[in-house]
Amino acid sequence: MYEKDGEKYFVVDEHMHYWDASPENRNKYGEGFINCFYDYHRNLSPEEWVWPKEKFDKPSEEDLMRDLFEEGHVDKAIFAPTHLMDFYPDHGFNTVERNGELARKYPDKFILNGSWDPRYEEKGLEAFERQVEEWGVKGVKLYTAEWKGDSKGWKLSDPWAYRYFEKSVELGIKNVQVHKGPTIWPLNRDSFDVADVDEAASSFPELNFIVEHVGLPRLEDFCWIATQEPNVYGGLAVAMPFMHTRPRYFAKIIGELLYWIGEDRIMFGSDYAIWSPKWLVEGFVDFQMPEGAEFGEYAELTPDIKRKILGLNAASIYGIEVPEELQMATADQGTGFDVAEKPAADR
C-alpha cells in the first residue's frame, strides 16, 4: 500500500519475474538476452536505482521480497514465467517451478501464473494440465517470440494455440498475459507483433488478454485492436520507466490508452527485476499531464484513475481481495472510446 497526500493506493504488480540468468545457467544467447535487459535497466532507471550487474543477473529471494514488499509498496505480485530453455539450458530463465516455490512460501504475497507453448502439441497440453493441478496457477504468460529449435516464434492464431486456449477455458484459466513489446536480442521483432491478439480475443471472449508492454512500439496498432475487443487489457510494464527519461512520451502513451480503452483496462507492472516498483509507484502517483496544446485532448490523471491502474483493475480480474479502506467509493466505468463499451455481438 502506498499513501501520498492523504490518498491511499492498493498496489498489484501484475508483471514481475524471479529469474536466474547467472553465467553458469546461460549460453551465448542467454548472455545477450540478459545484457539487453540490463541496457534497458541502466538507460531508463534513475541513477540511484541502477543495480550492479551481478545482482541483476540473479536477484536473491531477499532482494525480491525487500524490493517489492518492504520498500516497493506492492501488496500483491503476479508472476509472469518465461522459460527460455534454448537460452538458459540448465534450468530455464524464469520458470513456473522456480516462481512456484516462492509463491508457496509466501502465499499471501504472490499469484502464480503458468505458461504454455503450442509447439509442444499434445504432450504440452498434458503438461499444462499437470501444471495447473500441481501449482494452482491463475493465469498464463505467453512468449510468442521464444525460440524452440529451428522455430523462432509462433502466433496466437496458430491452430495448436487454439487447442491450448480451449484447454485453458476448460481448466478455468481466464487471464492470459501476452508479451507484445520491444524485442530483446536475439529474438525476432515480428514475433512480438500485436496483430494476432485481435483474432484470438474475438475467438475466446471468455478469456482476458493482458497485452504486456501495451504493444510498444506498436501502440497505435494495440489501441485500435483493444478498443474493438472488450476482453483486451494493457499492461504498462516497460512503458512506466519513460516517466523518468521521456515524460512527454509517457504522457502520450497513457493519454492514448485512456482515450481508446479507458481507465478500467490499464494495469501497472514493474517488470521486476528490470525495474524496482518503488520509484515507479511513487513517480506515477506524482505524475501529471504536461502543459501544452498537444496534451490538452488527454484526460486528467486523477487519484481515482491512478488507483485503478496501480492495483484495482488487476485485483478485479484476478479476484484479489482489496481491503475496504483501499477500495473505490464508486464503480464507475472508464471513459474509453465508445465502441469498447459495446458487446461484441453488436459490432
CA distances for 72 relative to 48, 98, 184, 220, 283, angstroms: 15, 22, 26, 31, 12
pLDDT of residue 333: 44
Q: Mapping DSSP to helix (H, G, I), strand (E, B) and coil, where does residue 246 land?
A: coil
DSSP state for residue 342 in the 8-state scheme? S
Contact 265, 234 (CB under 8 A): yes
Q: Where in the chain are the domains? A: 2-346
Q: Which helix (H) or strand (E) holds 309?
A: none
- Within 10 Å of residue 289's Cβ, how many Cβ atoms? 18
Give yes or no for residue 332 having a pLDDT over 60: no
**What type of residue sits at position 209?**
F
Compute the average pLDDT of residues 98-121: 97
Confidence of residue 335 (pLDDT cuts 50, 70, 90): very low
Give yes or no for residue 41 having a pLDDT over 50: yes
pLDDT of residue 329: 65
Helix 159-170 and helix 121-135, axial crossing angle in degrees, nearest 10: 30
Contact 243, 268 (CB under 8 A): no
Give yes or no for residue 347 having a pLDDT over 90: no
Confidence of residue 338 (pLDDT cuts 50, 70, 90): very low
- Within 10 Å of residue 169's Cβ, how many Cβ atoms? 13
Q: Of 293 and 286, which is predicted with more confidence?
A: 286
Give yes or no for residue 260 having a pLDDT over 50: yes
pLDDT of residue 43: 96
Q: Taking the C-alpha atoms of 217, 220, 221 and 222 in order, what is their torsion angle to the nearest 10 degrees?
A: 80
> With DSSP H G I counted as helix, E B as strand and the rest as coil, what are the percentages for the chain, rounded to 5?
45, 15, 40
Please give the Cα distance from 6 to 144 (Å, whole number): 42
pTM score, whole prediction: 0.93
Helix 96-105 and helix 121-135, axial crossing angle in degrees, nearest 10: 10
Compute the average pLDDT of residues 281-304: 92
Confidence of residue 336 (pLDDT cuts 50, 70, 90): low
Compute the average pLDDT of residues 59-80: 98
Please give the Cα distance from 4 to 10 (Å, whole number): 12
User: Cα-flanking dihedrals φ and ψ of residue 272, to 5°?
Assistant: -50, 135
Mean pLDDT of the chain: 94
Compute the average pLDDT of residues 181-187: 92
Residue closest to 313 by CA, chosen among 328, 324, 323: 328
Give yes or no for residue 342 having a pLDDT over 50: no
CA 245 from chain centre, in angstroms, equals 20
- Within 10 Å of residue 35's Cβ, how many Cβ atoms? 15
The grid coordinates of residue 167 equal 484447454
pLDDT of residue 94: 97
Contact 113, 50 (CB under 8 A): no
Q: Is the CA virtual torsion 239, 243, 246, 250 positive or negative?
A: positive
Compute the average pLDDT of residues 179-187: 93
Give yes or no for residue 296 having a pLDDT over 90: no
CATH fold of 2-346: TIM Barrel (3.20.20)
**pLDDT tens for residues 128-171?**
999 999 999 999 999 999 999 999 999 999 999 999 999 999 99
Give yes or no for residue 337 having a pLDDT over 80: no
**pLDDT tens for residues 244-255?**
999 999 999 999
Give yes or no for residue 57 having a pLDDT over 90: yes
DSSP state for residue 61 in the 8-state scheme? H
Please give the Cα distance from 32 to 183 (Å, whole number): 12
**pLDDT tens for residues 203-259?**
999 999 999 999 999 999 999 999 999 999 999 999 999 999 999 999 999 999 999
pLDDT of residue 294: 83
Please give the Cα distance from 306 to 268 (Å, whole number): 9
